[in-house]
Structure 1
């Protein structure tokens, strides 16, 4: 996707998604040419790599969100906290990298370089 924002303040757009989509919405997308998964949880929108840290199974549109903030992998059942990336249930042992997204000009864009902002 393209950059959005003013001169020098452009950010990478990740997805064109209805910003009012319900909690639990999971959308496959690309970021810097790599597959990612965009997820709406109770605290807002985040982006994670499109593979579980256990066996690299893709989340794609098949990732499931429950309890408002838990992403489950449909391959082997690993569960991750979308607010922090922390593994809540194995077999995965390594956390997900979670980046916050913001809505800018009607598009979801990477909000920063660090972990997701806490609501």
Structure 2
């Protein structure tokens, strides 16, 4: 092998290795963005997210702001993304809005909570998984109605 061909092989190896490293870095960044940019911390799929803490009686939203048979996105007093739903006129429920699959924030759509990242669908009234890839329900937040307000219980 001549000096020039050894130099070409070495250069080709460096370029190939550099391309592989760059591809891995881009792929890793995409997975990291998918995994947690929208909400709570996860260290892998399916882990439960923290639910609203703090004192009972903290306001989440007005009862009139949540449609009967639907759900509304809210932020808890401690800054967490949550969803409050209203299965009937006198019944309310609340859940973490962070998908248990990869940590993206779910969107309320009628009686469903849909994850825009991977297509998981949750029941807005129970938090249960209707369609995966998520395999764990959304963590419940205990709530009650107090003078027309939905508050933590």
TM-score w.r.t. the length of structure 1 is 0.63
Alignment coverage as a number of residue pairs: 99
Separation of aligned partners in 2, 1:95 and 1:26: 18
User: What does residue 50 of structure 1 align with?
Assistant: 97
Separation of aligned partners in 1, 2:97 and 2:129: 16
- Does the 8 A contact of 1:13 with 1:110 survive in 2? yes
What is the DSSP-based 3-state SS (H/G/I as helix, E as strand, rest coil) of the residue aligned with 2:75?
strand
Separation of aligned partners in 1, 2:110 and 2:115: 9
User: What does residue 127 of structure 2 align with?
Assistant: 85
- Does the 8 A contact of 1:64 with 1:71 survive in 2? yes
Greater than 6 Å deviation, 4+ residue runs? none
1:50 is displaced (CA, Å) by 2.1
User: Is the counterpart of residue 32 in structure 1 residue 74 in structure 2?
Assistant: no
- Name which of 97, 113, 126 aligns with 1:71: 113
Flag structure 2 segments of 5+ consecutive residues without an equivalent.
Answer: 1-53
TM-score w.r.t. the length of structure 2 is 0.51
Deviation string 1:28-68 (CA, Å, 9 cap, x unpaired) is: 22242322222223483222112111121112xx32233xx
- Name which of 59, 67, 85 aligns with 1:13: 59
As a proportion of its length, which structure holds more strand?
A: 1
Flag structure 1 segments of 5+ consecutive residues without an equivalent.
Answer: 5-9, 112-119
What is the DSSP-based 3-state SS (H/G/I as helix, E as strand, rest coil) of the residue aligned with 1:63?
strand
Residues 87-96 or 32-41, more deviating: 32-41
- Does the 8 A contact of 1:19 with 1:106 survive in 2? no
Change (3 A) 1:33 1:82: same
